């Protein structure tokens, strides 16, 4: 079988998912995680569609990817517009990527009804657009939108759109099940015809409206496609896209395809949870392979069996995808993950160390309270060092007060924070304003400490997210605050949990400062 390229579209298709809104900074962070996971292509968005995507592609010019190629996405030219004058195509070129993916119509219904042009005119759009991009030195993928529906309506025309794209210079033709209604056996029948008449390179882009996106993708892989598209956690419009967190381990562990390395596969759960956290969505605990419940055992017979031999009720070793076995009626799990984390933090732990159980107990206690350390590695490292007595108290809080005042109905609120801290017996009293109470508190804390720790002047609060953990309690709900900070050289995440949003924010802010001072 030919080499299969993994093509991620989380930053474009995944961002169209309901309740998901990635900032530019979010997209930059996720792109680097995807690169580390071993993707060949990362689709960054549609440059020109909105200011956010324009800025993202500009910022990505400063990022050096290790293995992945960044791809810009857009459509074929519009009818009555020359390709050389089409603003959409110009924006794609200006994005500065070597690779561009454009989509065109494969379904005659869309050509005549949505575009209002003839079938031959649609072929011109496809050919002219690809040819123009090739003349500009770009390498082009062609997404055949609604290909399977188009094939079922008019097979000859659907195939003709693929021939047109290939003749114009598209390097891979991606067959899209855009409405997500095609069944696996239909994928097989249609792909066999495509492979016979068109041939590779062919890709697959499946949506999940019928709950078969992963199955359709794997069917396509079994038939020899060379590019697989999807999103992390299956994020996407309507019911989502093919979930790469299922597709990748199925390809590697079930089909024997070496699409990522063993070490990269071990990062899968971490990346899955990271993207959920950055997307400000709860992670799906029942998600195959990477969900918290994927290898959890509760029934007495199951527990007894897996303790003797995990293969009795586990289809793979959970460690292969970075997950772990969980016995829900005890704490019989977690050590291997803890040792890996300790090693990465240069913390020495042995299997028989009494501190191991101390850390596990503390972790269990914090998770019960609602703490989540994915995306908050700074807080996790501090938690381990506190449990081991290796942390340091850099200051003592005497007290703080936050005021949020609105003086007129149409005026902006005024946020002011007052804080008193003590460092080695010396008291500092600071007042600061900010854009909201948390920003004011952040300014006040750092201003108070900069006299003692000048390095804090470089620390900036880069991102701030709040998740309600107990929605049934309304405005009295417990919340989790996730903060990302940076000093121009590196970035780190910290977390806080409380029923009071200011208290949760304070916890995350203090961890952010402590982490910076601990690391120097």
C-alpha dist (Å) from residue 86 to 3, 235, 252, 338, 390: 35, 30, 42, 54, 61
Phi-psi region of 366 (alpha: psi -120 to 50; beta: other; left: phi over 0): alpha
- Report the C-alpha gap between 244 and 414 in whole angstroms: 45
By C-alpha distance, which of 465, 464, 455 is closest to 515?
455
Give residue 332's pLDDT.
41
The conformation of residue 207, written as its DSSP 8-state character, comes to: B
Q: Looking at the predicted structure, is the pLDDT value of residue 329 above 50?
A: no
C-alpha dist (Å) from residue 145 to 10, 150, 267: 18, 9, 32
- Mean pLDDT, residues 424-447 taken together: 91
Give residue 224's pLDDT.
97
In the chain, the percentage of residues whose pLDDT exceeds 90 is 68
Give residue 290's pLDDT.
97
Q: Computed from CA positions of residues 15, 19, 25, 30, in that sequence, does the dihedral angle turn out positive or negative?
A: negative
Q: Hunting for tokens 């210079």 — which residue is that?
A: 169
- Report the C-alpha gap between 280 and 27 in whole angstroms: 13
Q: Looking at the predicted structure, is the pLDDT value of residue 304 above 80?
A: no
Q: Looking at the predicted structure, is the pLDDT value of residue 455 above 60?
A: yes
Q: Which residues pair with 327 in a beta bridge?
A: 297
Give residue 331's pLDDT.
40
By C-alpha distance, which of 497, 480, 485, 403 is closest to 446?
485
- Mean pLDDT, residues 318-347 taken together: 70
Q: Which residues pair with 486 in a beta bridge?
A: 460, 491
| HSE-CB of 195 using CA atoms within 13 angstroms | 15
Q: Looking at the predicted structure, is the pLDDT value of residue 333 above 80?
A: no
Q: Looking at the predicted structure, is the pLDDT value of residue 306 above 90?
A: no
**Mean pLDDT value across the chain:** 90
- Mean pLDDT, residues 198-205 taken together: 97
Q: Looking at the predicted structure, is the pLDDT value of residue 323 above 80?
A: yes
In the chain, the percentage of residues whose pLDDT exceeds 70 is 94
* DSSP alpha helix (H) spans, 44-183: 51-60, 87-94, 108-109, 119-135, 147-153, 155-168
Q: Looking at the predicted structure, is the pLDDT value of residue 228 above 90?
A: yes
Q: Looking at the predicted structure, is the pLDDT value of residue 49 above 80?
A: no
Q: Looking at the predicted structure, is the pLDDT value of residue 6 above 50?
A: yes
- Report the C-alpha gap between 27 and 15 in whole angstroms: 9
Asked if 404 and 410 touch (Cβ cutoff 8 Å), the reply is no
Q: Looking at the predicted structure, is the pLDDT value of residue 175 above 60?
A: yes
- Report the C-alpha gap between 203 and 190 in whole angstroms: 13
Give residue 372's pLDDT.
78
- Mean pLDDT, residues 298-305 taken together: 71
When comparing pLDDT for 293 and 151, which is higher?
151
CATH of 5-278, one of 3.30.565.10, 3.40.605.10, 3.20.20.70, 3.30.9.10: 3.20.20.70
- Mean pLDDT, residues 145-155 taken together: 97
Q: Computed from CA positions of residues 44, 48, 52, 58, in that sequence, does the dihedral angle turn out positive or negative?
A: positive
Lowest mean pLDDT among 80-94, 191-205, 250-264, 466-480: 466-480
Q: Looking at the predicted structure, is the pLDDT value of residue 328 above 70?
A: no
Token code pair at residue 50: 């909105």
Give residue 460's pLDDT.
87
* DSSP alpha helix (H) spans, 146-267: 147-153, 155-168, 184-197, 213-222, 244-249, 262-265
User: What is the pairing mode between strands 99-105 and 139-145?
Assistant: parallel
Q: Looking at the predicted structure, is the pLDDT value of residue 415 above 50?
A: yes
CATH assignment, 334-394+455-520:
3.30.160.340
User: What is the pairing mode between strands 479-486 and 491-498?
Assistant: antiparallel
Q: What is the pLDDT of residues 364-411, one digit of tens each?
A: 788 788 887 767 888 888 888 888 887 788 999 999 999 998 877 777
Asked if 292 and 321 touch (Cβ cutoff 8 Å), the reply is no
- Mean pLDDT, residues 106-126 taken together: 95
Domain spans of the chain, in order of start: 5-278, 295-330, 334-394+455-520, 402-452
By C-alpha distance, which of 251, 107, 112, 101 is closest to 181?
107
| Residue 300 phi, psi (nearest 5) | -55, -45
Provide DSSP, 164-180: HHHHHT-SEEEEEETTS
Asked if 349 and 324 touch (Cβ cutoff 8 Å), the reply is no
- Report the C-alpha gap between 169 and 131 in whole angstroms: 7
**112 burial type by CB count under 10 A (0-12 exposed, 13-18 middle, 19+ buried):** middle
When comparing pLDDT for 212 and 310, which is higher?
212
Q: Looking at the predicted structure, is the pLDDT value of residue 156 above 50?
A: yes
CATH topology (fold) of 295-330: H-NS DNA Binding Protein (4.10.430)
Contacts of residue 54, defined as CB under 8 A and 6 or more positions apart, other chains included, come to 47, 48, 91
């Amino acid at each position: 079988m030919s080499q299969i390229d993994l093509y991620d579209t989380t930053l474009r298709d995944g961002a169209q998912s309901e309740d998901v809104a990635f900032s530019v900074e979010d997209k930059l962070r996720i792109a680097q995680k995807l690169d580390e996971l071993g993707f060949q292509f990362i689709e960054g968005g549609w440059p020109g569609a909105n200011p956010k995507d324009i800025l993202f592609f500009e910022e990505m010019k400063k990022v050096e990817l290790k293995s992945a190629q960044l791809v810009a996405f857009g459509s074929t030219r519009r009818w009555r517009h020359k390709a050389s004058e089409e603003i959409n195509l110009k924006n794609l070129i200006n994005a500065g990527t070597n690779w561009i993916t454009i989509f065109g119509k494969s379904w005659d219904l869309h050509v005549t009804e949505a575009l209002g042009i003839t079938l031959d005119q649609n072929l011109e759009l496809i050919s002219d657009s690809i040819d123009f991009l090739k003349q500009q030195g770009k390498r082009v993928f062609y997404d055949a939108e609604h290909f399977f529906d188009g094939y079922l309506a008019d097979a000859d025309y659907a195939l003709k759109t693929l021939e047109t794209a290939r003749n114009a210079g598209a390097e891979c033709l991606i067959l899209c099940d855009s409405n997500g209604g095609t069944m696996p056996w239909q994928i097989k029948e249609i792909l066999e015809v495509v492979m016979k008449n068109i041939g590779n390179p062919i890709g697959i882009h499946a949506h999940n409206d019928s709950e078969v996106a992963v199955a359709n993708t794997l069917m396509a892989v079994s038939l020899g496609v060379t590019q697989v598209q999807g999103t992390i956690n299956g994020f996407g419009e309507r019911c989502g896209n093919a979930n790469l967190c299922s597709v990748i381990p199925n390809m590697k562990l079930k089909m024997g395809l070496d699409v990522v390395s063993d070490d990269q596969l071990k990062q899968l759960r971490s990346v899955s949870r990271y993207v959920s956290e950055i997307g400000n969505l709860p992670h799906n605990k029942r998600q195959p392979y990477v969900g918290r419940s994927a290898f959890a055992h509760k029934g007495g017979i199951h527990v007894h069996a897996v303790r003797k031999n995990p293969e009795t009720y586990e289809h793979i070793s959970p460690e292969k995808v970075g997950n772990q076995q969980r016995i829900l009626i005890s704490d019989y799990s977690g050590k291997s993950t803890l040792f890996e984390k300790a090693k990465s933090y240069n913390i020495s732990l042995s299997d028989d160390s009494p501190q191991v159980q101390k850390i596990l107990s503390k972790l269990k206690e914090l998770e019960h309270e609602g703490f989540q350390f994915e995306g908050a590695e700074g807080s996790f490292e501090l938690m381990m060092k506190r449990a081991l007595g290796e942390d340091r108290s850099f200051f003592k809080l005497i007290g703080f007060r936050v005021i949020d005042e609105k003086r007129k109905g149409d005026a902006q609120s005024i946020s002011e924070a007052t804080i008193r801290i003590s460092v080695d017996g010396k008291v500092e009293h600071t007042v600061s304003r900010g854009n909201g109470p948390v920003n004011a508190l952040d300014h006040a804390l750092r201003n108070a400490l900069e006299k003692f720790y000048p390095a804090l002047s470089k620390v900036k609060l880069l991102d701030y997210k709040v998740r309600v953990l107990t929605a049934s309690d309304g405005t009295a709900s417990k919340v989790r605050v996730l903060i990302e900070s940076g000093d121009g050289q590196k970035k780190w995440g910290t977390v806080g949990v409380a029923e009071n949003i200011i208290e949760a924010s304070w916890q995350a802010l203090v961890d952010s400062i402590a982490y910076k001072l601990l690391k120097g």
